[in-house]
Structure 1
Amino acid sequence: MSVHSSHRACDGRHAPAVADRCYFKIRLRGQAIGLPVDCVKTVFHVEALTPVPLAPPEIAGLANLRGRIVTMLRLDRCLWLDAAVPSDESRLAVGVQHNGEDYALLIDATEDVVTVRDDARMECPTHIDPRLRDLLSGCYREDPGFLSILDLGALLRRVNRSSEQTPGASRRGVSLKGAGK
């Protein structure tokens, strides 16, 4: 399987073939997660969060990011990770953009931009929850461990489906799309 077959750019299209890839590395519940650098717009501390009534648990609320309202996602809940620290206490966020829409992911820590080589790509370990594997575009070897690459499009589709299934969501207008409008 080619590394290029599952890598997607922020707009959902396949990224061009390259030998090395750059990812913005974050930490969440002790796990290393990579976000495509072209999707990452900013890192910020959340000052205030407005809850969204009847939203699924993955949606933390809405926040003002430089005059724009963004949907805040609890990444730990989106990825079914143990909440060692209650996600309400996570006040660090990474602003991302997908298909022209802005979102923010609550995270534990940021690291750095890392460059990975194609030959470091590996199959995602079998002990990873299959639901989580569906949200990853790949895994890369690191010393120690591995770096899971988040497929932002798959994540947002899953959260959108979850919000549509929340009782009353369609009547109340709870949706990821248009939060910034």
Structure 2
Amino acid sequence: MSTQATRDESGAAGFEDSLDYVTVTVGEQLLGLPIGRVQDVFIATRITPVPLAPREIVGLLNLRGRIVTAICMRQRMGRSAAPAPEGCADCELVAVGIDQGGEAFALIVDKVGEVMRLERSTFEPVPIHLDSGWAGLAKGIHRLEDRLLVVLDVDAILRIELPVAA
């Protein structure tokens, strides 16, 4: 019985030493969203634009009866929006669902990848040379074999400055 307890404790300890991310791509950059913050991944269609909204807010959509604010991660990260396919009235966009403070958000990304488990010991603070538009939205990085995984700060992403009413 003590052997089983030791195995369970070591298995649990292994999970404590790792960090799990849902990986997404914006442009060519691999990004990680902490898995505990991700509610779902879906295809967003029929997005209703919001007049006078900040450029990062694509609009609103209805997801299973819930109103969701769609945020373009390209715009949020200071990049130009991806061009819409020609003749696309009801374009399908890849979205990651996030909840914060009882509100629902859809982060529009270029591509959703896999769930990645990385060792906590490989997590590094945001490097000083990281693009300033991205650095304010990042918690840190993981250096992978062939690329850099930028870990996103969901709270920072959702802090969008609203225009001041005239």
| Shorter-chain TM-score range | 0.7 to 0.9
Distance 1:106 1:55 in 2: 16
Cα distance per residue 1:109-148 (max 9 Å; x no partner): 1111101112222343433222421211110011211111
**Normalised by the size of structure 2, how large is the TM-score?**
0.80
Greater fraction of residues in strand: 2
Distance change in 2, residues 1:87/1:37 (3 Å): farther
Equivalent residue, structure 1, for 2:79: 81
Indicate yes or no: 2:122 matched with 1:120.
Answer: yes
- Secondary structure of the residue that 2:114 maps to in structure 1? strand
**Any idea what SS the aligned residue of 1:38 has?**
helix
In 2, Cα distance between equivalents of 1:79 and 1:87: 18
Query: What is residue 7 of structure 1 aligned with on the other side?
Result: none
- Matched residue, 1:50: 48
Q: Within 2, Cα distance between the matches of 1:43 and 1:64?
A: 14
Offset, 1:167 = 4.2
Within 1, Cα distance between the matches of 2:39 and 2:151? 17
Query: Separation in 2 of the partners of 1:53 and 1:107?
Result: 22
> After superposition, where does 1:101-120 map in structure 2 within 5 Å?
101-120=103-122
Larger Rg: 2
Paired with 2:125 and 2:36, the residues of 1 have a C-alpha distance of 23
Q: Equivalences for 1:10-21 in 2 at 5 Å?
A: 18-21=16-19
State the AA in 2 paired with 1:33.
L
Matches within 5 A, 1:89-100: 91-100=93-102
Amino acid at match of 1:135: L
Q: Which residue of 2 aligns with 1:67?
A: 65
Kindly report the root-mean-square deviation, in angstroms, between the aligned alpha carbons of the 2 structures.
2.1
For 2:33, the equivalent position in structure 1 comes to 35
Letter in 2 for 1:98: Q
What is the count of residue pairs matched by the alignment?
A: 147
Q: Which runs of 5+ in 1 are unaligned?
A: 1-16, 172-181
- What is the CA-CA distance between 1:21 and the residue it aligns to? 0.5
**Map of 1:153 onto structure 2:** 155
Structure 1 residues 68 and 90, CA gap change in structure 2 (3 angstroms): same
Deviation, 1:82, is 4.4
Compute the displacement of 1:18 (Å). 3.0
Give the 3 Å change call, closer, same or farther, for CA 122–18 of structure 1 in structure 2: same
- What TM-score, normalized to structure 1? 0.74
Deviation larger for 34-43 or 51-60: 34-43
2:140 to 134, 138, 152: 138
